Amino acid sequence: MEHLPNKRVSWEEYAMGLATAASVRSEDPFYKVGACALNKKNKVIGTAYNGLASGKVVDESFWADRDKRRPYMIHAEANLLSLIKRGKCKLLACTLLPCSACATLIAAHGIKKVIYKEVYKRDQMALDIFKFYNIKCECVENKYWDESPIYI
């Protein structure tokens, strides 16, 4: 997909670019996930990433075993939803398809559209949950942010 330098990216591309940028803040060495929320006026109302609760310090050995540390990780979507009020988010962009638990949180927040770049192979139940709650869900892999040097 070729973009001319003066062509403005879509709001979805913008949100996914911010989600991608947020993902680099994650301290998780296995999966860095980012998320971004836009309101009805396409204003950014939050960005977040996966990781531990703010201020929690752990020894380096904590990160060595992915399965042992997994229950303690806060997902990017959960972090993001903790920052915004219910009903305020029009679009949630996430670098990874939300898990089923995050999908139910997204539904509870009244979000009507979710975009993601990559399928979460461990849990794809979110697709059924989004369909059940009439939430539009779209995989937008291989778009502008993957080709542009400004995105990580």
Cβ-Cβ contacts under 8 Å for 135 (sequence gap 6 or more):
106, 107, 111, 112, 113, 114, 129
- pTM higher than the cut 0.95: no
pLDDT digits (tens, 9 = 90+) for 18-67: 999 999 999 999 999 999 999 999 999 999 999 999 999 999 999 999 88
Bridge pairing between strands 44-49 and 113-118: unpaired
According to the model, what pLDDT value does residue 120 have?
83
Catalytic residue chosen out of the listed positions 13, 27, 60, 77: 77
Long-range own/partner contacts, residues 117-122 (CB < 8 A, 24 or more apart) = 117/16, 117/20, 117/141, 117/143, 117/146, 120/96
Instruction: Provide the CA 17 distance to its chain's centre, in angstroms.
Output: 11
Question: What is the DSSP secondary structure assignment for residue 88, as one 8-state letter?
Answer: -
pLDDT band at 88, cuts 50/70/90? very high
Asked if 118 is an active-site residue, the reply is: no
pLDDT greater at residue 110 or residue 149: 110
* Tokens (6 digits) for 10: 């879509």
According to the model, what pLDDT value does residue 6 have?
65
Q: Phi and psi (nearest 5°) for 45?
A: -110, 0
* Tokens (6 digits) for 79: 């972090």
For residues 80 and 37, the answer to whether their CB atoms sit within 8 Å is yes
Residues in the chain: 152
pLDDT digits (tens, 9 = 90+) for 5-17: 667 889 999 999 9
Identity (one letter) of the amino acid at 28? D
